[in-house]
Chain A
Amino acid sequence: MIEGAVWRKWVFYNIPLILFVFVLLFPFYWMIITSFRPDGELYRPWNAVNYQPFWTNKPTLEHFVYLFEETDFGQWMINTMFIAVTSTLISLFCGVLAGYALARLNFPFAGSLGTVIFVTYLVPQTLLFIPLAEIIRNFHLGDTPWSLILTYPTFLIPFCTWLMMGYFKAIPKELEECARIDGASRFKAMVYIIVPIAVPGILSAGIIAFTLSWNEFIYALVFLSSPEEKTVAVGVTSELIRGDVFFWGSLMAGALLGSVPVAIVYSFFVEHYVSGLTGSVKG
């Protein structure tokens, strides 16, 4: 990099970067501060005198209490966690096997099947949600977590498969050949030699799949109806808005708590997340 004067560095790098970080993170600050403010402070018009929007001197937990006492928020968290973990595990299982087959085995139509996987990866959930709702109803899965556990893999498996294909392709063929010369079957060479090497890839795929299923909304909105079956995103949307009345404090508290599991998983595995994200783009 060609360095100039100090002021140039500030004008061209530091200040724009600080602005980016500020804008990208401000909504989260706003979420946090809102969830701790008492209603009396929250609902003051923006042009009222002595209005201090950015800080509160009377932090309160009333919104959190409301969340747990008046709604099924705890249950929503458990539901979402169960659905996200189970569908991620199913998708990882299918994706690792399929990715291995497509990346390392010779069989007819391997190339076109890879393209099919890539195209299904691009199918948005909003294209199919209405017929899928009918199918879920016909299978008697409506209003159960299984309606989501079985449908989330439709967008998670293509993603996991695609990512795993990239990881498997990078492993040299000789490794398997050595194992097979030593007498291992193809299947065992896969399970004991190749899959363990791909563990970082599996971890990346798993983390992203987890955040994707935690983020999913339209299927959960359409397939679930009873309050105690809902996921966090749907529960917050439907139970904390009554007609025109928004329970903003509790809404923000719910949004905050609902983001925590994803944020924790992400913070522990940032590098895996980023490598998975960029790996999926490289293709």
Chain B
Amino acid sequence: MAVTAVPGMVGGRQPLPWMRKLEDERWLAFTLLLPTAILLGLFIAYPFVEGIFLALSDARVGDPGHFVGLKNFAKLWDDSIFWTSVWNTFWYTAVTTVFKLALGLWLAMLLNRHFRGKAIVRAFILLPFIIPTVLSTFAWKWMFDPTFSVINWTLFNLGFIKARINWLGDPSLAMTSIIVVNIWRGVPFFAISLLAGLQTISPELNEAAAIDGARPWARFWLITWPLLLPVTMVVMLFSVIQTFADFQLVYVMTGGGPANATHLFATYAYQIGIGTGLLSQGAAVSLAMFPFLFLIVVIQLLYIRRVEVR
């Protein structure tokens, strides 16, 4: 072996049969994938199986419990808070995704031209996305504070409201407030990703269409949108999954309240599983997310494949 050809190698001391084995692509691939397989196996595959067993038992904190079949799920079926969380999760995901896509696309188009300070604007715009969610959500919670709200102050002084708005105390307003914060956090991700997509579209296409007399709106729907669709679908896939399984935002803003009105799957699972210590029941709530997540992934992947083939 030409070990000496590469400087800085300790090759001389390495056992030869081992190195020779790595010459076989399959052995090399196996070796390279081993650390990943161990970590993902131990902390994703194993907990997944463990979670199914847990959800089928009556375990609590400090009590391993026994197998009880589908009792936990039957209990959830009759649990009105669970159904509220299911509905909330879907509403939350749907509304925020629509707004994030629309606003993100708008922002991307605003950024897709040359102007002074573009790099700085782009860098600052991503801040809501990179600053830890919990920390920025606290800023929003403070802005929505019932007594000291700066939003109320502004609306009052502009003459829009006469009395205070209890942003997080009123069940339906609380959900809306949470939705606003999620949109705020997600728009930059959509905008920057879609901007990258927009930049791959050749400006000549638009110019040619403009010369042929296409109005801006027609140019958008017939040129930009179809060409952007593959990127859009992938961005949506990530965003929908993250939003569907969101925890931190609701945990900080309302903790699922007022009166359990703003729970999502994850916060409800936390409240039952960790808050009250009913591990099995909490695992069941978490696991109830799985079929929906699975469906979302399958549908979107199929759709992405279709879009890419076209």
B164 at the interface (CB under 8 A from A): yes
Q: In whole Å, how far is B194's beta carbon from the nearest beta carbon of chain A?
A: 9
Contacts of B286 in A (CB 8 A): 126-130
Contacts of A123 in B (CB 8 A): 44
A113 at the interface (CB under 8 A from B): yes
Lowest 5 CB-CB distances: which A-B pairs, in order? Answer: A124-B245, A183-B2, A126-B266, A278-B196, A131-B51
**Chain B, 138-178, contact with A by CB distance < 8 Å: what is the 0/1 string?**
11101101011110110010000000100000000000000
| Bound-complex Cα distance A258 to B136 (A) | 10
A71 at the interface (CB under 8 A from B): no
Residue tally, chain A, CB below 8 Å to B: 102
Residue tally, chain B, CB below 8 Å to A: 103
Contact of A135 among B47, B153, B251 (CB under 8 A): B47
Instruction: Assess whether B266 is in contact with A153, with CB atoms less than 8 Å apart.
Output: no
B91 at the interface (CB under 8 A from A): no
Interface residues of A in 112-168 (CB under 8 A from B): 113, 117, 119-120, 122-135, 150-151, 153-154, 157-158, 161
Contact of B35 among A97, A132, A236, A267 (CB under 8 A): A97
Contact of A273 among B106, B130, B241 (CB under 8 A): B130
Q: Which residue of A lies closest to B245 (CB)?
A: A124
Contact of B130 among A1, A106, A134, A266 (CB under 8 A): A266
| Bound-complex Cα distance A252 to B134 (A) | 11
User: Which label, helix, strand, loop or mixed, suits the secondary structure of the B interface?
Assistant: helix
| Bound-complex Cα distance A24 to B147 (A) | 23
Contacts of B113 in A (CB 8 A): 1, 13
Interface set of A (CB-CB < 8 Å, partner B): 1-2, 13, 16-17, 20-21, 23-25, 27-28, 30-31, 34, 42-47, 51, 53-54, 90, 93-95, 97-98, 100-102, 105-108, 110, 113, 117, 119-120, 122-135, 150-151, 153-154, 157-158, 161, 182-188, 192, 211, 214-215, 217-218, 221-222, 232-233, 236-237, 246, 248, 251-252, 254-255, 258-259, 262-263, 266-267, 270, 273-274, 277-278, 281-283
| Bound-complex Cα distance A128 to B242 (A) | 14
Q: Which residue of A lies closest to B241 (CB)?
A: A122
